[in-house]
Amino acid sequence: MKKVLIITYYWPPAGGPGVQRALKFAKYLPEFGWQPIILTVKNGEFPAYDESLFSDIPDECKVYKTPAIEPFSLYKKFTGMDANEAIPVATLTEKKTNWKKKLAHWIRLNLFIPDAKIGWIPYAVKAGKHIIRNEKPDIIFSSSPPPTVHLIARSLARWSRIKWIADFRDPWTKIHYYHNKRTRLSQLADNNLEHKTISSCSRTTCVSPKFSRLLTLNRNKKIEIIPNGYDENELSSKWKQTDFFYIIHVGGINRSRYYQSFFGSLQNLIKTNKLNSDRVQLLFIGKVDSSIQNSIKQEFSELNKVKFIGYIPHIKAIDYMYRATILLLFLENTKNYEGHVPGKLFEYVATGNYILGIGPKTGDAAYILEETGIGKMFEKTDQMGIEKAIEIQYENWIKGIRPNINTEIIKKYSRKALTQQLATIFHSLA
């Protein structure tokens, strides 16, 4: 069995979407002749924790963890956060409410280049050299964010002359929350880092076509699209007719993912008796901004079926996905986001339940909904279209009619099939 050194910041017990990609690759790589060796951080700053994910780590996998110098304890003290409070994954997209947060975020954006994890570099590089000497990996694979992982991989690849693949779950310098928030000098410095890094790797992989176009690539640099996916082994639940018309959103909701138009449409259908309010349940799985919770509660003050469940283990979140009649997909209302395809979308798709998305109709997520026949993406202003879609799904639910989906297309998004694509690239380079 050949060996691959995987450099990732997010690894169990980290929870949330950031950990899934590297973890699922590691889970299935042994089936394609590759032993994963993980280089990750010890006691990292994670937006969520999920101990259940340890069960996905295969027996063949070796995990090395190193210390890191991180500024987040200072950030928490400075901004008045509790020491045990998790920093939201989308903290840089939040609307700043006081000067301390504004200053802290300006420092993060302009002085920590490429990101706030740069204090991990010396520890990771030292440990990486030790791993390479002892394990003798055939390939290096780094998956961002944070982009710091690529700087670590670049240093180790140059030192060892081992071929290296840089993987991107998000863009680097053109990521949506950098827009008009950095000084020109900071942006130029980060652009230079991105260009040098991608120029020196052996291959580049990315989760979506439109995100790949936001990376600073050489003309001759080939990029492979390997999307996120769903894990067949987690999808043991079976659909069954439910007593309630469940509308469920899985994942966090911040200000840029909150669409009042959807909730207005739902309220209108209830008021006009096109939906029976006694049979509707609106559930939110994941962290929802407190001001948004209050807004939704006020909107549906007469509806006692609105529940905010909070963050739960990943496998339990999938159980809720199966319960849904409509699964909500709210994409960021911001620039440079047409390439965003959340990992949960593929788990949504695998359930066979209808997906109502709000976001760019020309984005990569909209294409997947159309390709699989499992749902539709709406612009936030299309209230009539949103209302009609909810009404149709309600009528279908009463009749027990399921969406007509393309199961063959859906299969290509299994984590195992996608890992095989990655293993093929490994073999071609090794």
Domains of the chain: 2-229+414-429 (3.40.50.2000), 232-411 (3.40.50.2000)
Q: How far apart are CA 201 and CA 226, in angstroms?
A: 17
Are residues 343 and 375 in contact, defined by beta-carbon separation less than 8 angstroms?
no
In the prediction, which pLDDT does 85 show?
Answer: 56
In the prediction, which pLDDT does 90 show?
Answer: 53
**For residue 3, which phi and psi values (nearest 5 degrees)?**
-120, 140
- Smallest CA-to-CA distance from 324 within 244, 215, 422, 430 is with 244
In the prediction, which pLDDT does 65 show?
Answer: 98
- Mapped onto helix, strand or coil, the DSSP state of residue 407 is helix
Bridge partners of residue 206, in order along the sequence: 168, 225
In the prediction, which pLDDT does 245 show?
Answer: 94
Q: Which amino acid is at 332?
A: E
- Other Cβ atoms closer than 10 A to 315: 16
Q: In what order do the strands lie in the sheet with 245-250?
A: 306-310, 280-285, 245-250, 326-330, 354-358, 375-378
Alpha-carbon separation of residue 96 from 5, 111, 385 (angstroms): 39, 18, 33
Q: How far apart are CA 86 and CA 311, in angstroms?
A: 12
Q: How far apart are CA 88 and CA 101, in angstroms?
A: 13
* 239, 244, 250, 254: CA torsion to nearest 10: 160
Handedness of CA 357, 363, 369, 375 (dihedral sign): positive
In the prediction, which pLDDT does 404 show?
Answer: 80
Helices (H), 33-112: 72-79, 99-111
Burial class, 347, CB count within 10 angstroms (exposed 0-12 / middle 13-18 / buried 19+):
buried
In the prediction, which pLDDT does 82 show?
Answer: 63
Tokens at 13, concatenated: 């017990």
- Smallest CA-to-CA distance from 92 within 178, 208, 180, 12 is with 178
- Mapped onto helix, strand or coil, the DSSP state of residue 226 is coil
Q: How far apart are CA 397 and CA 240, in angstroms?
A: 11
Exposed e or buried b per residue across 186-209, where buried means at least 16 C-beta atoms within 10 angstroms of its C-beta: bbebbeebbbebbeebbbbbbbbe
Ordered mean pLDDT values, 10 residues apiece, the chain (430 residues): 97 92 97 98 88 94 94 57 56 59 71 88 98 98 97 98 96 78 87 91 94 75 89 74 90 88 90 90 91 87 81 90 94 84 92 93 93 92 93 93 83 95 96
- Mapped onto helix, strand or coil, the DSSP state of residue 277 is helix
Q: Which amino acid is at 95?
A: K
The distance of Cα 124 from the centroid of its chain, to the nearest Å, equals: 24
